[in-house]
Amino acid sequence: MNMTEGNFVDYVKMHVTSGNGGKGSSHLHREKYIAKGGPDGGDGGRGGHVILRGNSNLWTLIHLKFKRHFRAGHGAHGSSGRSTGADGEDVYVEVPLGTVVRDSETDEILFEITEDGEERIVVEGGMGGRGNWHFKSSVNQTPRYAQPGIPLEEKDITLELKVLADVGLVGFPNAGKSTLLSVLTSAKPKIADYEFTTLKPNLGIVEYRDFKSFVMADIPGIIEGAAEGKGLGYYFLRHIERNSILLFLIPADAKDIVEQYEILEDELRRYNPEMLDKERLVVISKSDMLDDELKSEISTILDKDLKAEYMFISSLAHQGLTELKDKLWKLLND
């Protein structure tokens, strides 16, 4: 899924169908020695609902991209002995918090799911029909009719999630932000070997184990053009409600890693001091070009002077990426 070029809405269209109500039974009681047992037809069961449920462990709609139809079970028919048919099975669809549900045809907002465990019925199952024993009266002792069940409901709905970046990439042009984004996510940023490639923010969804996922954004313009007011960067992470992380990306061949970190930090402070309240992690990119000796030399300097946690990765050589995802997931969910 490509979410580049400023498309900030993760959305999925789906077709939902509830269950039919079961029909009531028009059975007449017949038993040896009981001449006219009278009506004893039971009611039909209720059809199943399709229910959306909020789940705070989900961050995106990626788990629904490939399942577009949800269909609840039908209610069973009533039967003799006044026995009611079983209700149809309800179907639960788990969605992240902040999911807005619209009717696809009218574009009307039906509801928004905001709390963990919140359940909303999106199509109701049909009521079961009443069996003939309900219709017995002094005038009509043996009614031979029962109600049919109420039919199912169908609807096309659109789920929208306003995607907020959970992880923002901060770095000088050409630090390898776009490359990291393209390796970790399915975003297809424009990548070139010159500065200022990223003009619009690129967003990508990082898939983590067991269908979990989080959103990473390459924030352009924090450095380039910031002084002239062209910088877009802070504008994205400004809306963050969840814990978000700033990932400082500094290439291994930078002249002075600590100095680069401090310049970036200072830019953020001048732009919007609140950004510095966020968790941060320094990632030394392009570190496939370092041998062990160089790595340990750099580590010695960083341990002494860098006021932040750091790790080495290489997007091209796929080194350290799993550890990076694990670390980010842990920071986001602590």
Residue positions forming the annotated binding site = 171-178, 196-200, 218-221, 285-288, 314-316
H or E segment to which residue 170 belongs: strand 167-170
HEC-encoded secondary structure of 52-119: EEECCCCCCCHHHCCCCEEECCCCCCCECCCECCCCCCCEEEEECCCEEEEECCCCCEEEEECCCCCE
Strand order in the sheet with 310-312: 202-207, 213-218, 167-170, 245-251, 279-285, 310-312
Q: Please state, in angstroms and rounded to a whole number, the distance separating the CA atoms of residues 210 and 13.
A: 22
Q: Please state, in angstroms and rounded to a whole number, the distance separating the CA atoms of residues 7 and 204.
A: 10
Binding residues for GTP: 171-178, 196-200, 218-221, 285-288, 314-316
Binding residues for Mg(2+): 178, 198
